[in-house]
């Protein structure tokens, strides 16, 4: 026999018993692992046959140890070695899938099947040709024979080569996976790869000792259990993580993750493409670490914000969604930024905004010029007609002049509506609050609307609640505009009957009702009553002209003052509009009984004449007719009025003459009102530097008054010039001066 080491080591009864016991234990462990796999997912579908093949190999090895027939032992050992080939192929298949290798597995699989098939045929038929290995019978004890491999042949060498080709391919697959994967997967791949050292050691031990005890199969079992633990115990969601990683890599948003110290731990491909650079952690940290260091991650768990980065000298704009992570003790542990490149959208909207602003400026400029172009001749018409009304004694001519005045008022109202609507749409209209007496405001509204009602022969009444506080705080001018709009609208749509206005105090605000006996509004038209440019479609009122902006402007003004407006109507019977506007009480004393002063126009004009003998006034306007209108308004005031046809002519007068008040037109050909005013302020030893200076302008767009006041003007007076406002301004500023 010449094999003393067999009886001393490997043929020991205890050793055989121990090996079989260990094999059974491993079979049980592998079976438990296989049963615990839920069978869902490709990873599970690959692990189950891998574990099953390990069980099968161990059982074959035990059967081989206990075999009593040489031919049977040869066949079992051949099948066992074939199972090792298949087990290794299963390990390779799992490695290629798990590391997401981009190889043609079908071609490799077909080639290996050929090798494994020829290997299996040679091994299983070894009992006939003995080209793989030979067995020698060993009698362990009386009646018990073991078969020990005595020598190996060419086919066994072929079997070893096939096995190690498969092992080498598996090692290469894991090596490529380690080099190309993120740090989260490298450790896992490396752990599975290290488990191969156990397999190789066991197989080498079996080959070196030529033992019938196949240590390699136990090593394969250990490796299978290690893979199970790594993949399904320590990383139960391995397949989901692979999928999530692929999603993160391929998603169209840039993803970058930081740890608690602001160090980059992950960034996907899209992120690097957004920075237009190769993957460089230092580059990423340098680009956005300032936002991390600013402490934004400590504010909230999640946030959305915008980020501007300099990418190769060009500004790029990103929309960032950040998510922060905390441990159980609420300590910050890291965060991720999801970055969406919005550069193209930012550029588009920036250009759109610029174009819109340019369009808005152009529209404002056109509106300003149009307003000026209309108001300048309207000022002459309005002013000259006013002088006819003041000075003419012929009743017939006065009647004509009244009609001209009414038409002029309608024209100016229409222009004011367009300007107001434009200002509201551009959000440039601002409220100007002041203390005021509600009874005086109501009288102004009545005086501004009574002539229209009288011309149509309507019963027109205005009442004011006695309980209303005597002094309120709010935008008196805009409240008057709201009331005038509603009353004028009621008069326009009422051919006979009445228009009744009632103003009361209700819950810290003014509540006004305007009721008429007009044509009413159809039910289907009520929904668009306050829409811009909307007019009630009715053939019976087609003759009533207007822009359709009055009620829309009224509704917007009410909304700006946090009020409410509503209407109800019966078609053919009449309408009722109700407005509520909150106001602040400055004096809770009640106004008491309210009277409307029925003073005639001539008395009102006579009472309004402002006399200030010796006062000096300078009016600067390039339009001769406008200067004449201005002078005619003040010809009974006994003031000395000087005229200048342009900016330079005005400056020549301002050098030597001292005035009490100065009026300067805004739009003049040589130099406009702004430039004239600035040069006057810059003149040395000018006696008029501190004199009240009023801007005369046909531009009534929102914000112009603030602009004039900002540059130093005392006030502004819009065209057409209202003589009452002009005289009020003279009383105010000449008295102060």
What is the per-residue pLDDT across 285-316, written as a single tens digit (0 to 9) for each? 665 666 565 544 444 566 777 777 777 778 88
> Lowest-confidence range among 14-28, 494-508, 556-570, 633-647?
14-28
Average confidence (pLDDT) over 536-541: 51
Q: What is the mean pLDDT of the chain?
A: 77
Q: Which residue has the tokens 């009122």?
A: 541
- Provide the token pair at 387: 């002088």
How high is the pLDDT of residue 609?
Answer: 61
List Cα–Cα distances, 678 to 534, 693, 712, in angstroms: 45, 11, 9
How deeply is 671 buried, as exposed, middle or buried, from its count of CB atoms within 10 A (0-12, 13-18, 19+)? middle
CB of 669 within 8 A of CB of 699?
no
Is residue 210 scored above 80 in pLDDT? no
Output Rg (C-alpha) for the chain, integer angstroms: 50
Q: Is the pLDDT of residue 181 over 80?
A: no
Compute the half-sphere exposure of residue 358: CA atoms within 13 Å on the CB side of its CA.
6
Q: What is the helix (H) or strand (E) element at residue 20, kind and residue range?
A: helix 13-36
Most confident of 122-126, 404-408, 430-434: 122-126
For residue 464, pLDDT beyond 60: yes
Res 543: pLDDT: 45
Q: How confident is the model at residue 208 (pLDDT cuts 50, 70, 90)?
A: low
What pLDDT does 5 receive? 38
Residue 580: is its pLDDT beyond 90? yes
For residue 184, is pLDDT > 60? no
Element (H, E) at 445: helix 438-456
Mean pLDDT along residues 620-646: 87
Nearest to 387 by CA among 180, 564, 635: 635
CB distance 259 to 92 below 8 Å: no
What global pTM score does this model have? Answer: 0.43
pLDDT band at 422 (very low <50, low <70, confident <90, very high): low
Report the relative pairing of strands 509-516 and 574-582 from DSSP bridges: antiparallel
Q: What is the secondary structure of 346-374 as a DSSP string?
A: HHHHHHHHHHHHHHHHHHHHHHHHHHHHH
Q: Are 232 and 135 in contact (CB under 8 A)?
A: no
**Is the model's pLDDT at 616 over the cut of 60?**
yes
Task: Report residue 93: phi and psi, to 5°.
Answer: -60, -45
Of residues 109 and 436, more confidence is placed in 436
User: What is the average per-residue pLDDT within 250-278?
Assistant: 74
Torsion of CA 483, 486, 492, 498, to 10 degrees: -80
| Distance between CA atoms of residues 554 and 563, nearest Å | 11
The better pLDDT of the pair 201, 591 is held by 591
Q: What is the DSSP letter of 524?
A: G
pLDDT over threshold 70, residue 425: no
> What's residue 10's pLDDT?
47
Residue recorded with tokens 């073991």: 146
| Cβ contacts of 419-424, under 8 Å, gap ≥ 24 | 419/367, 419/371, 419/700, 419/701, 420/481, 420/549, 420/553, 421/532, 421/549, 421/552, 421/553, 422/363, 422/364, 422/367, 422/701, 423/701, 423/702, 424/553, 424/556, 424/557, 424/560
Question: How, if at all, do strands 459-464 and 498-505 pair?
Answer: parallel
Task: Give the C-alpha separation, 180 to 101, whole Å.
Answer: 10
Count CA atoms within 13 Å of residue 647 on its CB side: 16
* Per-residue pLDDT tens digits for 61-82: 888 777 777 778 788 888 888 8
Q: Angle CA(19)–CA(21)–CA(26) in degrees, nearest 5?
A: 95
Q: Which residues contact 600 (CB under 8 A, 6 or more apart)?
A: none
State the Cα–Cα distance between residues 33 and 232, nearest whole angstrom: 10
Span 609-619, average pLDDT: 83
Report whether pLDDT(251) > 70: no
Q: Which residue would you say has higher pLDDT here, 571 or 540?
A: 571
Give the residue with greater pLDDT, 349 vs 207: 349
Q: Kindly state the percentage of the chain with pLDDT values over 90.
A: 7
As a whole number, mean pLDDT of residues 377-384 equals 77
Residue-level pLDDT at 499: 92
User: pLDDT digit string (tens) for 342-355?
Assistant: 888 878 877 877 77
Range of weakest confidence among 302-316, 385-399, 409-423, 679-693: 409-423
pLDDT class of 368 with cuts at 50, 70, 90:
low
Q: In this model, does residue 695 exceed pLDDT 60?
A: yes
Phi-psi region of 242 (alpha: psi -120 to 50; beta: other; left: phi over 0): alpha
Element spanning 216, H or E: helix 215-228
The pLDDT assigned to 3 comes to 43
Side-chain half-sphere CA neighbours of 342 within 13 A: 15
Residue 115 has pLDDT above 70, yes or no: yes
Q: Check whether 166 has a pLDDT greater than 90.
A: no
Higher-pLDDT residue of 439, 345: 439
| Mean pLDDT of the 508-532 span | 84
**How much is the average pLDDT of 201-220?**
67
pLDDT at 203: 67
Return the higher-pLDDT residue of 652 and 311: 652
Q: How confident is the model at residue 502 (pLDDT cuts 50, 70, 90)?
A: very high
Task: Specify which residues 581 forms β-bridges with.
Answer: 510
More confident residue, 301 or 25: 25
Query: Mean pLDDT throughout 431-453?
Result: 85
Residue 367 has pLDDT above 50, yes or no: yes
pLDDT of res. 604: 40
Q: Which residues contact 147 (CB under 8 A, 6 or more apart)?
A: 64, 67, 70, 73, 135, 136, 137, 138, 212
Q: What was the pLDDT predicted at 619?
A: 93
* CB-based contact 226:192 (threshold 8 Å): yes
Cα→Cα distances 542→535, 537, 616, Å: 10, 8, 51
Name residue 580's beta-bridge partners.
511, 564
Query: What does the alpha-carbon distance between residue 693 and residue 623 come to, in Å, rounded to a whole number?
Result: 19
pLDDT at 734 over 80: yes
579: pLDDT strictly greater than 50: yes
As given in the structure block, the two tokens for residue 12 are 């020991």
Higher confidence at residue 644 or residue 325? 644
pLDDT (average), residues 607-632: 82
pLDDT range class, residue 599, cuts 50, 70, 90: very low
Give CA separation, 439 vs 63, 287, 470, 590, 620, in Å. 117, 66, 8, 10, 37
């Amino acid at each position: 026999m010449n094999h003393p080491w067999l009886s001393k080591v490997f043929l020991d009864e205890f050793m055989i018993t121990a090996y079989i016991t260990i094999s059974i234990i491993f079979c049980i462990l592998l079976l438990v692992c296989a049963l615990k796999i839920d069978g869902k997912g490709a990873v599970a579908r690959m692990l189950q046959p891998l574990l099953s093949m390990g069980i099968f190999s161990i059982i074959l090895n035990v059967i081989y140890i206990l075999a009593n027939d040489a031919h049977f032992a040869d066949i079992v050992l051949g099948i066992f070695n074939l199972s090792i080939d298949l087990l290794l192929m299963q390990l390779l298949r799992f490695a290629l899938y798990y590391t997401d290798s981009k190889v043609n597995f079908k071609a490799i699989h077909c080639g290996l099947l050929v090798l494994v098939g020829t290997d299996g045929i040679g091994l299983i038929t070894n009992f006939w040709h003995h080209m793989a290995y030979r067995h020698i019978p060993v009698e362990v004890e009386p009646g018990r024979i073991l078969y020990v491999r005595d020598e190996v042949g060419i086919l066994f060498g072929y079997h070893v080569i096939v096995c190690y080709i498969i092992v080498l391919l598996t090692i290469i697959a894991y090596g490529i996976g380690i080099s190309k994967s993120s740090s989260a997967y490298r450790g896992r791949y490396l752990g599975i790869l290290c488990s191969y050292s156990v397999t190789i050691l066991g197989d080498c031990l079996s080959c070196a000792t030529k033992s019938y005890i196949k240590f390699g199969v136990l090593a394969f079992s250990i490796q299978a259990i290690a893979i199970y633990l790594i993949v399904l115990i320590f990383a139960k969601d391995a397949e989901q993580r692979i999928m999530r990683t692929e999603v993160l890599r391929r998603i169209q948003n840039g993803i970058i993750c930081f740890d608690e110290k602001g160090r980059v731990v992950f960034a996907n491909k899209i992120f690097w493409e957004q920075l237009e650079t190769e993957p460089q952690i230092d580059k990423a940290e340098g680009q956005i670490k300032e936002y991390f260091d600013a402490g934004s991650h400590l504010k909230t768990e999640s946030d959305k914000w915008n980020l501007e980065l300099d990418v190769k000298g060009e500004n790029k704009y990103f929309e960032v969604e950040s998510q922060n992570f905390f441990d159980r003790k609420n300590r910050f542990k890291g965060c991720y930024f999801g970055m969406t490149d919005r550069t193209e959208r930012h550029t588009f909207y920036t250009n759109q905004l610029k174009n819109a602003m340019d369009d808005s400026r152009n529209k404002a400029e056109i509106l300003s010029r149009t307003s000026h172009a209309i108001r300048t001749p309207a000022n002459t018409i309005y002013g000259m007609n006013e002088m006819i009304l003041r000075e003419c004694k012929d009743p017939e001519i006065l009647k004509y002049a009244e009609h001209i005045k009414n038409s002029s008022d309608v024209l100016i109202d229409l222009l004011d509506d367009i300007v107001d609507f434009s200002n509201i749409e551009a959000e440039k209209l601002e409220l100007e609050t002041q203390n005021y007496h509600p009874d005086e405001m109501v009288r102004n509204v009545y005086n501004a609307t009574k002539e229209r009602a009288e011309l149509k022969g309507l019963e027109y009444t205005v009442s004011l609640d006695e309980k209303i506080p005597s002094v309120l705080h709010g935008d008196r001018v805009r409240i008057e505009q709201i009331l005038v709009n509603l009353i004028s609208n009621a008069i326009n749509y009422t051919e006979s009957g009445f228009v009744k206005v009632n103003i009361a105090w209700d819950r810290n605000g003014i509540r006004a009702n305007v009721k008429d006996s007009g044509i009413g509004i159809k039910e289907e038209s009520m929904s668009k009553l306050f829409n811009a440019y909307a007019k009630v479609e009715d053939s019976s009122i087609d003759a009533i002209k207007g822009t359709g902006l009055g009620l829309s402007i009224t509704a917007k003004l009410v909304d700006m003052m946090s009020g409410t407006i509503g209407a109800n109507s019966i078609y053919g019977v009449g309408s009722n509009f109700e407005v509520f506007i909150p106001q602040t009480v400055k004096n809770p004393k009640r106004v008491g009984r309210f009277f409307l002063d029925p003073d005639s126009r001539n008395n009102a004009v006579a009472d309004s004449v402002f006399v200030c003998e010796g006062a000096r006034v300078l009016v600067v306007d390039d339009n001769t007719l406008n200067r004449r209108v201005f002078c005619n308004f003040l010809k009974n005031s006994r003031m000395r009025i000087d005229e200048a046809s342009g900016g330079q002519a005005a400056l020549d007068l301002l050098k030597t003459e001292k005035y009490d008040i100065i009026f300067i037109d805004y739009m003049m050909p040589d130099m406009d009102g702004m430039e004239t005013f600035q040069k006057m302020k810059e003149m040395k030893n000018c006696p008029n530097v501190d004199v009240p200076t009023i801007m005369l302008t046909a531009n009534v767009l929102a914000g112009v008054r603030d602009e004039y006041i900002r540059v130093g003007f005392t006030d502004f007076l819009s065209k057409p010039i209202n003589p009452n406002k002009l005289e009020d301004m003279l009383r105010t500023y000449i008295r102060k001066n």
